[in-house]
Amino acid sequence: MKAGMHVKSRSKLNQKGMTLVEVIVAMAILAVVIAPTLRIFASASGTNLRSRQRQRATSVAEGAMESLKAYNVEQLCTQFLANNFKGVVKSTDGARPTVMSAHAVFGGVEQSPIRTDGTLQDEADSYKLTAKNVVSEGQYYDMEILLTPSVAPNVLKMEDSNTYSDAIICLEENTAYSAKGQLAQKAEDTFTANFSSYHPSASNPVVESVTISDFKRVIDIEVNDDGTVQTVAYKVTYTCKAQVNYTYSTGTGSASGSRSYDETVLKYEEVLDAVSGATELTVYDDSATIAGTVLLGRKAKLNHIYLYYFPVYTSMFDTGAKDEINITANLTGLYDYLPATSAKDSKAQGYDPLKITVAKQLATVLSDVELNSGEVGYNVSVKGTVTGGEVEMQTNLTENLSPMGSVIAPPSISGFGSSKTVQDSILDRVVLLYNVEIHVYEANTTNEVATFIGTKNE
């Protein structure tokens, strides 16, 4: 019995145990393995949280944008001042109420947007609308909306645009003047660079004047669809003829002369993209903008192209001035999907025919008499090259924008085929488009969660 007890005791003594060093090593290995896994889980959790945050904030912005379309700026300012804008979900927590405000901005100074007679201060640089503590899925956000007129007052209002399915091109009033200056400078530079070949034994050339003629602006709009992506891009090119009048020194005294340059030598393409320096600008791409949003089970399609521009009048750009608008549209795959189930679906989804609006705007630098003279002599042509679909055009090109209303020469519109219809309409002389910026922040912070950029009609 004692011998058996002795053996059992030896067995216990021979069992190996884990030393303190081994325990520490095991824990270190475990930490090395677990730490990255925990970081992955933490990162995934944080990413999901941020994604959810963005979704909620985007919902706030999209809801506001949809409501902006339903009201004019005066009505919107009135709603915000009354704290009852209908485009957001208001807080029901009495300790954390939704608070709204509206301001008209004049040169950086904020004022009340509504006059004492209840009308909108319609000459403001922009309008700022704010709403604090709006709610999305139980979370609180602050929202700021900036509405900035994209063109000068007294433009022409056509049909309402839709940010989901429309491409909008607005040419500024002063760009053609700037281009004329560029071409005049190019003519002078060309003369100076070649002076020695004109007068080999002369010196000291001085340009006295540069006279521009046959000034032409060409607006090229290109619509493409490859069955997957739809794009609308445009570029603006200017050409002219120029006569440079100059003096110079000869071996026996001084002399004068003139030199002419044709439009090929003086061609100038306007830079439209300040970042890349490109002369072509894409204004619609349904793979990169809100236009690609799925509506009613289908992706929104291009529905309407708007071109708003200020005419090149002979009275402002010398003899022979004209505008040429070229629209090239490849619509082969544009409507290649299931038909709409109702007229409402068809309009929302951008179904055939593609609509194009070409609208000239009121020049703000001309008197009524000057405007009438410019309109009577205005030379404009619109040429279309359309394949694979139909285009419906509406325009105000046959209307005289001057209150004097003299008869004007009809514009040249060609190339749209038998499907083309021309509807002349001037609905009102008001501010047409506002650029819209919607910024959504975490409540009571400057942490911006979502941004929405678009346009709205007045």
For residue 349, CA distances in Å to 64, 333, 338 come to 21, 14, 11
Residue 124 near residue 104, CB atoms below 8 Å? yes
Residue 399, CB half-sphere, CA atoms under 13 Å: how many? 19
Task: Round to whole Å and give the CA distance between 196 and 204.
Answer: 10
Q: By CB neighbour count within 10 A (0-12 exposed, 13-18 middle, 19+ buried), where does 442 fall?
A: middle
Element (H, E) at 254: strand 254-261
Write down the pLDDT at residue 162: 65
pLDDT digits (tens), the chain, 458 positions: 444 444 444 444 444 556 776 667 677 777 666 666 656 555 555 456 667 777 888 888 888 888 887 788 888 999 999 999 988 999 999 999 999 999 999 988 999 999 888 888 878 889 999 999 999 888 999 999 999 887 544 445 545 566 667 888 988 888 999 999 999 999 999 999 999 999 999 999 999 999 999 999 999 999 987 766 788 999 999 999 999 999 999 988 999 999 999 999 999 999 988 888 899 998 887 765 444 445 444 456 778 888 989 999 988 888 889 999 999 988 876 654 444 454 444 443 445 678 888 888 888 788 889 999 999 999 999 999 988 777 888 888 888 888 888 888 889 988 876 444 455 444 444 445 788 899 999 999 999 988 887 777 66
Write down the pLDDT at residue 416: 77
Write down the pLDDT at residue 261: 96
In a domain? residue 330: yes
In a domain? residue 425: yes
Whether 127 and 171 map to the same domain: the answer is no
Whether 40 and 167 map to the same domain: the answer is no
Distance from the first to the final alpha carbon of the chain: 107
Whether 230 and 202 map to the same domain: the answer is yes
Whether 452 and 404 map to the same domain: the answer is no
**Ordered alpha helix ranges (H), 289-424:** 314-317, 343-349, 368-376
Its domain, for residue 32, covers 23-149+432-458
Whether 103 and 179 map to the same domain: the answer is no
In a domain? residue 15: no
Residue 367 near residue 373, CB atoms below 8 Å? no
Whether 177 and 268 map to the same domain: the answer is yes
Task: Round to whole Å and give the CA distance between 62 and 32.
Answer: 45
Write down the pLDDT at residue 160: 57
Whether 228 and 305 map to the same domain: the answer is yes
Using a cut of 0.75, tell me whether the model's pTM lies above it.
no
Domain total in the chain: 2
Residues 6+ apart with CB under 8 A from 182: 238, 268
In a domain? residue 2: no
Write down the pLDDT at residue 268: 94
Task: Round to whole Å and give the CA distance between 38 and 42.
Answer: 6
In a domain? residue 1: no
In a domain? residue 176: yes
Residue 400, CB half-sphere, CA atoms under 13 Å: how many? 18
Whether 169 and 213 map to the same domain: the answer is yes
Residue 381: count of CB within 10 angstroms of its CB: 16
In a domain? residue 14: no
In a domain? residue 77: yes
Whether 328 and 436 map to the same domain: the answer is no
Whether 273 and 235 map to the same domain: the answer is yes
Residue 244, CB half-sphere, CA atoms under 13 Å: how many? 25
DSSP label of 5: H
Whether 77 and 109 map to the same domain: the answer is yes
Write down the pLDDT at residue 176: 92
Whether 437 and 425 map to the same domain: the answer is no
